[in-house]
Amino acid sequence: MDLLLFGPPGAGKGTQAKFLIDLLRIPQISTGDMMRAERKSGSELGRQFDEYMSAGKLVPDSLVLDLILKRLTQEDAKNGAIFDGYPRTVAQAESLDALLEKLDRRIDRVVSLDVPLQDIVERVTGRRVCLDCGQTYHVRYSPPPQNGECVSCGGNKIVQRSDDTEEVVRKRYEEYKAKTEPVLAHYGAKGVVKGVEGVGSLEEITERIKEAIGVE
Ligand code: AMP
C-alpha cells in the first residue's frame, strides 16, 4: 500500500506514521527527516536545505525530487510506503504519481488529518526532539525526563527544533495553506482522500486512521 499522511505542520503525521510502520510493514518516508539528516551531515546539500527550513519556507521541488528518487528505489520501499510531509506541492504530487506509475503503483489512500491552527501552534512550540534518535516529546503532554536523558536511546541532546518557534510555525502554516493544501484537491479528484479528525488521544487518532484505510 502507498499511503499519504496529509495535514499541516504539527498535525501528528510523523507520530502516527511511527504506529503504522509496524501495522502495515512498510517504511515511513519523511522528507523533513531526510533533510534534517542531510543538514546534520554538514553537506553542501544540507546547507541549501537549511536556508529554506530555518525560514519556514518550502525547499524547491527539484531538490526534493532527487531525495525521493533515491529513497523509493531502496529495497524496503518496494511494496509501498507511508509518505509523511511529502508531496507538499501539486508539482511534487504529479512527479510522485509519475514515479509510482513506472513502478505499477499509485497513492492508494490519502489520510488528511484535520487540526485547528491554535492546536498546531501549541503542539509545535511545545515539541522537543532527541537529536540522536528522533524521539519526540511535548513539554506538557509527554515531557522529556528530568535528567535530560532520552527514554529511547539514552542520549542527552533533547532540544527544540529550530523551526518549531511560533514565528516559524506561523510561516510554515502559511506555506501549507498556499502551496500544500491544493494537493488535497489533486488527490480528491482521484477519489482516494479520507478526512480524519486529528484532535484527541494518540490512540483515538490511530484508530480513526486504521478505519480510514480499512485495516484492523
Ligand atoms: P517537516 O519535518 O515535514 O515539518 O519539514 C520541515 C521543513 O523541511 C519544512 O518546513 C520545509 O522547509 C522542509 N520540507 C520537508 N519536506 C518538504 C517537501 N516535501 N517539500 C519542500 N520542503 C520540505
φ, ψ for residue 4 (rounded to 5)? -110, 120
Q: Is the CB of 186 under 6 A from ligand 1?
A: no
Q: What is the pLDDT of residues 106-146, one digit of tens each?
A: 999 999 999 999 999 999 999 999 999 989 999 999 999 99
Ligand 1 proximity of 129 Cβ (cutoff 6 Å): no
Out of 28, 30, 31, 120, give the residue to mutate to test ligand 1, the one with the largest number of ligand atoms within 8 Å of its CB. Answer: 31
8 Å CB contact between 112 and 184: yes
Q: Given a cut of 90, is residue 216 above it in pLDDT?
A: no
Q: In angstroms, what is the C-alpha Rg of the chain?
A: 17
* Residue 61 pLDDT exceeds 90: yes
Query: What is the band of 165 on the pLDDT scale with cuts at 50, 70, 90?
Result: very high
Task: Confirm whether 88 is a catalytic residue.
Answer: yes
- In 3D space, the residue among 152, 140, 202, 163 whose CA is nearest the CA of residue 85 turns out to be 163
Under the banding of pLDDT at 50, 70 and 90, the label for residue 38 is: very high
Read off the amino acid at residue 208. Answer: R
Top-level CATH class of 2-116+174-213? alpha beta
Query: Percentage of the chain surpassing pLDDT 70?
Result: 100
Average pLDDT (31-45) is 95
Cα 147 to ligand 1 centre (Å): 31
Specify whether 109 is catalytic.
no
Q: Where are the alpha helices (DSSP H) in the chain?
A: 13-24, 31-41, 44-53, 61-72, 90-102, 117-126, 166-175, 182-188, 202-213
Model pTM score: 0.93
Residue of 62, 67, 88, 176 to mutate, ligand 1, most atoms within 8 A of C-beta: 88
16 alpha carbon – ligand 1 mean position (Å): 17
Q: Which has the closest alpha carbon to 60: 29, 95, 28, 27?
A: 95
Compute the average pLDDT of residues 157-161: 96
Among all chains, which residue has been given the C-alpha cell 489520510?
Answer: 111
Residue 215's Cβ-count burial label (10 Å; 0-12, 13-18, 19+) is exposed
Query: Which has the closest alpha carbon to 109: 14, 212, 23?
Result: 212
Q: Cβ distance 21 to 7 under 8 Å?
A: no
**Range 201-207 average pLDDT:** 95
pLDDT at 205: 97
The per-residue pLDDT for 172 is 96
Beta carbon of 127 within 6 Å of any ligand 1 atom: no
CA pair distance 31, 21, nearest whole angstrom: 16
| Grid coordinates given for 116 | 485547528
Verify whether ligand 1 is closer than 6 Å to residue 107 (CB atom).
no
Q: Residue 154 contacts by C-beta under 8 Å, 6 or more apart in sequence? A: none
Over residues 187-198, the mean pLDDT reads 98
What is the average pLDDT value for the chain, to the nearest integer? 96
